[in-house]
């Protein structure tokens, strides 16, 4: 395992993260108003996704199934808008498609679907399952002597699922140092604060006790995230996890830290204010950055 050279500098990473947030907001605004998706958890991981797709992931938008590509599994599948925004901006599919999110007959499903959307490495949405698939991908890479890396992004609420810890044990047993898990630790889950719904205690200690290398990070310092993801694991043979401390709804003042924005519609006025805060004039083009 060697250090990956970063493919973007700090300025570009910050610009990309901002661009992802703008796309996320426009996409959810344009989606069917009844159930348009999950803004809060998509915005909280925008910097993480930007660090991955512009900092470290070796992928080929023109050849999405390139066998040697790095894999990314969005285990917290409800943050699909963040993933779709990155895939469109990287050129996996036309930007216009972002305006079709959740619409009948379209390819951008409410949760990621590997059969329908180019660049999606695993279908996810049922929490706790993506990390198991990521373990399988990392195992396959080891079996074949390939050097690709596998990254998977989970939410802190998702860690309630027992399957996550089953997968963690398997990664440790098989010494999957080609596997990196990232926790988007925004501190909120569907019913309320994590500390109330299901207290997770010391996350770093939990992961370490499962044999993983665990590091805590500021989940909104996109340059630091990219640098951390690019580094090889601290110990050969050890899977690693980054606990990224984030704010739900990050980047939009009235959404930040607000449980109400876990899922829900964004109206015209809210979109205009949110875009203004992100320094983007509002526009109804379904997701392209103005």
Q: Contact positions toward another protein, by CB under 8 A?
A: 67, 71, 113-115, 121-126, 128-141, 143-144, 162-163, 166-167, 169-170, 173-174
SS3 of 284, please? coil
Of residues 25 and 131, the one with the C-beta less far from another protein: 131
Q: Are 49 and 88 in contact (CB under 8 A)?
A: no
Q: How far is the CB of 153 from another protein (least distance, A)?
A: 15
Alpha helices in 215-256 (DSSP H): 222-230
Point out which residues pair with 192 in neighbouring strands: 189
Q: Are 241 and 207 in contact (CB under 8 A)?
A: yes
Of residues 73 and 271, the one with the C-beta less far from another protein: 73
Of residues 178 and 246, the one with the C-beta less far from another protein: 178
Q: How far is the CB of 269 from another protein (least distance, A)?
A: 37
For helices 222-230 and 10-30, give the axis angle rounded to 10 degrees: 110
Q: How far is the CB of 66 from another protein (least distance, A)?
A: 12
Q: How far is the CB of 137 from another protein (least distance, A)?
A: 4
Q: Are 248 and 261 in contact (CB under 8 A)?
A: yes
Q: How far is the CB of 238 from another protein (least distance, A)?
A: 18
- Tokens coding 16: 């990309």
Of residues 165 and 198, the one with the C-beta less far from another protein: 165
- Report the distance separating Cα 110 and Cα 115, nearest Å: 13
Residue with token string 């917290």: 76
Of residues 106 and 169, the one with the C-beta less far from another protein: 169
Q: Which helix (H) or strand (E) holds 268?
A: helix 268-277
Q: How far is the CB of 243 from another protein (least distance, A)?
A: 21
Closest by CA to 156, choosing from 122, 110, 207, 121, is 207
Of residues 17 and 138, the one with the C-beta less far from another protein: 138
């Amino acid at each position: 395992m060697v250090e990956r050279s970063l493919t973007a500098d700090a300025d570009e990473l910050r610009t990309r993260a901002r661009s992802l947030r703008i796309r996320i907001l426009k996409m959810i605004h344009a989606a069917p108003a009844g159930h348009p998706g999950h803004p809060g958890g998509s915005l909280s991981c925008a910097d993480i996704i930007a660090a991955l797709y512009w900092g470290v992931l070796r992928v080929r938008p023109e050849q999405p199934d390139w066998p040697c590509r790095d894999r990314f599994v969005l285990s917290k599948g409800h943050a699909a808008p963040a993933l779709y925004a990155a895939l469109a901006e990287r050129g996996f599919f036309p930007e216009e498609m972002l305006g079709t999110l959740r619409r009948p007959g379209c390819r951008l499903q409410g949760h990621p679907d590997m059969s329908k959307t180019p660049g999606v490495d695993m279908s996810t949405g049922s929490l706790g399952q993506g990390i198991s698939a990521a373990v399988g991908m990392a195992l396959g890479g080891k079996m074949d002597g390939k050097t690709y890396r596998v990254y998977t992004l989970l939410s802190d609420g998702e860690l309630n699922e027992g399957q996550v810890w089953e997968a963690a044990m398997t990664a440790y047993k098989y010494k999957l140092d080609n596997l990196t898990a990232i926790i988007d630790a925004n501190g909120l889950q569907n019913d309320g604060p994590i500390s109330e719904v299901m207290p997770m205690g010391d996350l770093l200690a939990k992961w370490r006790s499962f044999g993983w290398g665990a590091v805590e990070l500021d989940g909104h310092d996109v340059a630091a995230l990219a640098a951390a993801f690019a580094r090889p694991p601290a110990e050969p043979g050890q899977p690693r996890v980054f606990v990224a401390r984030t704010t739900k709804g990050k980047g939009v003042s009235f959404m930040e830290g607000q449980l109400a924005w876990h899922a829900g519609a964004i109206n015209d006025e809210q979109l205009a204010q949110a875009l203004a805060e992100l320094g983007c004039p509002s526009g109804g083009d379904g997701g392209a950055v103005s």
